[in-house]
Each structure stands twice: as structure tokens, then as C-alpha cells.
């Protein structure tokens, strides 16, 4: 396929390179001038989008996605697929999909889980909103860039699934870190705590797969001085998107709200910026009530 790829940052570049490696013809564009010797660099977003069968965007925010949409939609050929893989607010996802549909395009919101490691290895999970026809047409690309793609319903539902998942993740990570800090104060060995909880009803992905305590469980960012992994800054972004959606939809999410406020304090007032989101553990362990 002829693919335009816009946004070649930490996630976008390895995703685009995996598509190029699989034999697709890629025209890439990033405002920061990032490119690759594995594919062609376009001079603008519109140029990357022109004549493409599929245009993929991997951008930082809904505001930027809206701006890029206005640039590329007039350049895209009718019937082509606009596949946005960024994590953005549900409202922006639905608005840009509507703009694309009005121009005769097929639009999908397909945020990912799996981080930079998953992007490089081609093992991302895609949560996809949009029409079934577009989902089918993009299927072979999801297979290259990821290990799983779930069709979640109409436009915006991919973003809805992503922020609900990450709201659970933020809350369970905080709970896991709080419990470790309490165990420390009670004189309970961290390995014993892990051995019990990871096989008891307190288990979760945060405990079992991404244990925030160094030297315990499978290797995780805790074993690498809390270098991300998944940064506290990105967790804060997703928790803010979840609260924005909860406010708009009138959903009661008190723990999601508390998690957002705690990550905001951690990133903006303490030493959380640039650290993995599991660095909540040293934060709690180092504090007294
Ligand atoms: P990043 O900041 O590394 O990359 C974003 C890229 O977009 C940058 O290179 C930037 O120059 C480019 N860009 C900005 N405005 C542009 C424009 N107008 N036209 C073209 N390019 C433009 O971010 P990332 O880590 O690659 O994340 C991308 C998206 O994926 C975000 O929405 C993020 O929330 C989501 N995400 C990231 C991770 C992760 O672990 N990094 C995991 C899951 C989802």
C-alpha cells in the first residue's frame, strides 16, 4: 500500500519503519524534520497524504491532530483511510472523523497500548473506533504494527477504551505502590508481599507484570532506576483525558480524579517528570503520613 505517516516521534518512527520493512511504500513527515533511510521524507503533511491509500497520524494532542486533519483531508484521495493512532480526547477524535467522512474518507481512531517497546517489536494493541469497513481495510497494517486489534464500535470508542484502560492502570499502580509502602512500614518483606499478592486477590498487571519494587518480579523500569517505560507525564496526560471525558459524559469517577491529582502533583511539583509512572513507589515509601 501507499502510506502517508505523519508524526515520527518515539512511537511513530518505529511503527513506520515496521510498515516499510513489510514492503509498504511510506512517505513520512514530522515537523521536527525526523526521517528514516527506510522510507521517503515528504516536505509537508499534505504531501505525505497525497495519493496515499492510508494516512496514519501519531501526534501528541487533539489540538495538533485537528490542525493536521485540516491540512491533510483536502489532499487525500476519496475512499482512502485516515487512521489516527494518537491518544487524544474523545471529542477531537469524533470531530476529525466527521471531517474525514464528509470528505468521502474512511476514518478510524486507533490508539495503542504497549509503549515504545511494543512499537519497535510490532506487538502493540490497537483499540479501534470507526466503521467496520475501514477496520477491515486497515487489518493487515494492524497485523504488522501490532499483536492485537479490537474493534470497539463507532468513532471515538477507541479513545474511550484507551482512557478507561489507563484510568484503571493509574489507579492500580497507585494502589500497588501505597500497599508496598505500607508493607515496608509494617516490616513485611517486599518479596514476601509480592509472592502473596501476585497469587492472591490483590493481583493486577501493575503488580504481576510491571512490579514497582526493584529486584522483584519480572524485569521492569523499577530495575532500571525508574527510567521509562511509560512515563508519569504520559500517565498524567491520559488521566486528564479520562477526567475530561468523565466531566463531559457526567460519569462519577472519584478514584480516577484522585489519581489525576496525585500524578499532577508528582509530575509538576515533585520529582516525577521524566520518570516511569511506577516511581510512585519511592515517592510513597519516602514520605510519612
Ligand atoms: P513524541 O512526542 O515522541 O512524538 C510526536 C511527534 O509528532 C513528534 O516527533 C513531533 O515533532 C510530531 N509533530 C508534532 N506536531 C506535528 C505536526 N503538526 N505535523 C507533523 N508532526 C508533528 O510522542 P510519542 O511518544 O511518539 O507519542 C505519540 C502519541 O502516542 C501520543 O498521543 C501519546 O500519548 C501516544 N502514546 C505514547 C506511548 C509511549 O509510550 N510513548 C504509549 C502509548 C500511546
Is residue 163 in contact with ligand 1, taking CB distance under 6 Å?
Answer: no
Atom of ligand 1 nearest to the CA of 61: 32
Which of 267, 121, 48, 24 is CA-nearest to residue 59?
48
Confidence of residue 95 (pLDDT cuts 50, 70, 90): very high
The residue nearest atom 16 of ligand 1, judged by CA position, is: 31
Of 162, 237, 244, 288, the active-site residue reads 162
DSSP 8-state symbol, 231: B
CA 172 remoteness from chain centre: 17
The residue nearest atom 1 of ligand 1, judged by CA position, is: 9
Q: Say if residue 60 is preceded by a cis peptide, omega within 30 of 0.
A: no
Tens digits of per-residue pLDDT, 175-210? 999 999 999 999 999 999 999 999 999 999 999 999
For this structure, is 148 an active site residue?
no
Per-residue pLDDT averaged across 148-161, rounded? 98
Atom of ligand 1 nearest to the CA of 8: 9
The residue nearest atom 33 of ligand 1, judged by CA position, is: 87
Pairing of strands 2-6, 25-29: parallel
Contact predicate 142/160, CB 8 Å: no
Q: Is 202 exposed, middle or buried (0-12, 13-18, 19+ CB in 10 A)?
A: middle
Q: Is 178 exposed, middle or buried (0-12, 13-18, 19+ CB in 10 A)?
A: middle
Amino acid at each position: 500500500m501507499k502510506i502517508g505517516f505523519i508524526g515520527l516521534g518515539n512511537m511513530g518512527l518505529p511503527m513506520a519503519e515496521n510498515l516499510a520493512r513489510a514492503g509498504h511504500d511510506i512517505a513520512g513527515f514530522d515537523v521536527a524534520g525526523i526521517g528514516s533511510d527506510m522510507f521517503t521524507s515528504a516536505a509537508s503533511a499534505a504531501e505525505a497524504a497525497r495519493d496515499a491509500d492510508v494516512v496514519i497520524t501519531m501526534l501528541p494532542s487533539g489540538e495538533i491532530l485537528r490542525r493536521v486533519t485540516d491540512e491533510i483531508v483536502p489532499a487525500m484521495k476519496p475512499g482512502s483511510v485516515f487512521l489516527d493512532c494518537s491518544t487524544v480526547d474523545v471529542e477531537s477524535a469524533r470531530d476529525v472523523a466527521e471531517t474525514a467522512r464528509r470528505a468521502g474518507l474512511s476514518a478510524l481512531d486507533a490508539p495503542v497500548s504497549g509503549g515504545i517497546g511494543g512499537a519497535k517489536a510490532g506487538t502493540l494493541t490497537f483499540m479501534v473506533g470507526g466503521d467496520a469497513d475501514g477496520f477491515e481495510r486497515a487489518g493487515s497494517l494492524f497485523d504488522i504494527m501490532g499483536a492485537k486489534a479490537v474493534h470497539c464500535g463507532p468513532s471515538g470508542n477507541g479513545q474511550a477504551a484507551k482512557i478507561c484502560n489507563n484510568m484503571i492502570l493509574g489507579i492500580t499502580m497507585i494502589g500497588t505502590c501505597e500497599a508496598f509502602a505500607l508493607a515496608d512500614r509494617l516490616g513485611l518483606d517486599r518479596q514476601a508481599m509480592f509472592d502473596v499478592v501476585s497469587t492472591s486477590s490483590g493481583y493486577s498487571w501493575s503488580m504481576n507484570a510491571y512490579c514497582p519494587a526493584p529486584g522483584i518480579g519480572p524485569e521492569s523500569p523499577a530495575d532500571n532506576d525508574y527510567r521509562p517505560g511509560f512515563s508519569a507525564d504520559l500517565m498524567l496526560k491520559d488521566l486528564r483525558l479520562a477526567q475530561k471525558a468523565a466531566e463531559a459524559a457526567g460519569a462519577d469517577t472519584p478514584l480516577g480524579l484522585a489519581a489525576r491529582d496525585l500524578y499532577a502533583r508528582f509530575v509538576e511539583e515533585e520529582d516525577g517528570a521524566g520518570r516511569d509512572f511506577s516511581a510512585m513507589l519511592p515517592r510513597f515509601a519516602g514520605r510519612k503520613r
